[in-house]
Structure 1
Amino acid sequence: MRALICFAALLLMVSQAEADPPKLAVFDFELIDTSLPGEFYGSKPEEARLDRISEQLRKALAESGKFQVLDIAPVRDAARHSNLQACGGCDLKLAGQLGADLEITGMVQKVSNLIINLNVYLRDVKTGNMITAASADMRGNTDESWTRTMSYLIRNRLLAPNYGRP
């Protein structure tokens, strides 16, 4: 009888573990601005847009129910002072500090006000393996173009059935 109770408890724990969505750290997007105006005047409008698309992504992934999106506030300053795309895995360490199973970093590359590219990278925190990468080009440097491009990537790449998964 005791063995049967232990087995039932084990099955319950396994089913709960399978039901819990993975913990996900979504870091703030970074900007690479190689445009001529960016060189002279800085990237002020883009900095606000980076915050908006980062929050847009967090909100959409949390609302999907497929992920438990973690608050990155405890490591936000450290992340902002690092180049997460080229820091030798510091993003994985920061996500690990939050207890994340998965992490997303993102980058916007601005070539000009006409040519902008948005990139999203989803990685497994424990192995460091890239699970999926998604990229989209946008034409025009407006709030609407940034929001629509992020919406496209969320809908057609990150939350699309079987995208980037075996």
Structure 2
Amino acid sequence: MRIPVPAFRLPVSGFFLAALLVALGPGAAAHAATRVAVFDFELLDTSGEFDLRGPKPEEVHRLDLITDEVRHRLTQAGYDVLDLTPQQAQIAEAAPFRNCNNCELPIARALGAEIEVIGLVQKVSNLILNINFQLRDVATGQVLRAGSADIRNNTDESWLRGISYLVRNRLLDPPLTGKAAP
């Protein structure tokens, strides 16, 4: 003999979940993670070997690589890393951010970010590079954290080691507090 499955099965499950959350109290719901806009890292080539057409393809790849690494590490640390696509036209118009006097702040606000991360790689030569970042409170523009790491050698490995150092030792340690905390 088959036992019929009641049609109200899903609503009852939803009801029990809601009742459980109410019973556990207001702290039971997940605390909203801090929303972060991580803008693409930029390259400032002062090496004298720059090309007027822009960064070399391998350096564009490395900029993407370290930007993705920062986004990944912030996500792992509990932050809500925002999709920048809705503001892509404004980002393209304002870039490079190193020349725009905080013009990225209204873009981050429009995305709903609470904090933002901007970064710059300065290429002094093909052997000497410097990775820099700033983390800012979007509401006030105040710099909450900043860091810089000199790296040697223009390779994927050296760029990743540099950004790994910055994330571990400048961006997330000591842990962020206040609005910047996840």
Do the structures match in fold with TM over 0.5? Answer: yes
Name which of 106, 109, 114 aligns with 1:93: 106
Aligned Cα root-mean-square deviation (Å): 2.4
**Structure 1 counterpart of 2:48, from 16, 36, 56:** 36
| Partner Cα distance (1:42, 1:129) in 2 | 31
Partners of 2:31 and 2:127 lie apart in 1 by: 44
For the structure 1 residues 85 and 40, does the alpha-carbon distance in structure 2 shift closer, same or farther, using more than 3 Å as the test? Answer: closer
Give the Cα–Cα distance (whole angstroms) in 2 for the partners of residues 54 and 116 of structure 1: 16
Structure 2 unaligned segments of length 5 or more: list them.
Answer: 1-21
Matched with 1:102 is 115
Counterpart check, 1:20 vs 2:32:
yes
| 1:2-151 correspondence runs (5 A) | 12=26, 15=27, 19-39=31-51, 42-44=54-56, 45-65=58-78, 67-81=79-93, 82-151=95-164
What SS does the corresponding residue of 1:19 show, helix, strand or coil? coil
- Compared CA separation, residues 101 and 18, structure 1 to 2 (3 A): farther
**Alignment partners' CA distance in 1, 2:143 and 2:73:** 21
Structure 1 position 118, deviation (Å): 0.3
2: CA distance, partners of 1:117 / 1:159: 19
Structure 2: how far apart are the matches of 1:97 and 1:16? 30
Identify which range, 122-131 or 33-42, moves more after superposition. Answer: 33-42
Aligned to 1:25, the other structure's residue is in SS state: strand
Query: How many residue pairs are counted as aligned between the two chains?
Result: 153
**Is the contact made by 1:157 and 1:163 (CA closer than 8 Å) also made in structure 2?**
no
Q: TM-score, normalised by structure 1?
A: 0.82
Counterparts in 2 of 1:160 and 1:18: CA distance versus 1, 3 Å: farther
Normalised to the residue count of structure 2, the TM-score between the two structures is: 0.75
Query: 2:162 & 2:171 partners in 1: Cα distance?
Result: 13
| Cα distance, 1:40 vs structure 2 | 7.0
5+ residue gaps, structure 1, are: 1-7
User: Rg: which structure is higher?
Assistant: 2
Residue 136 and residue 22 in structure 1: after superposition, are their counterparts in 2 closer, same or farther (change >3 A)?
same
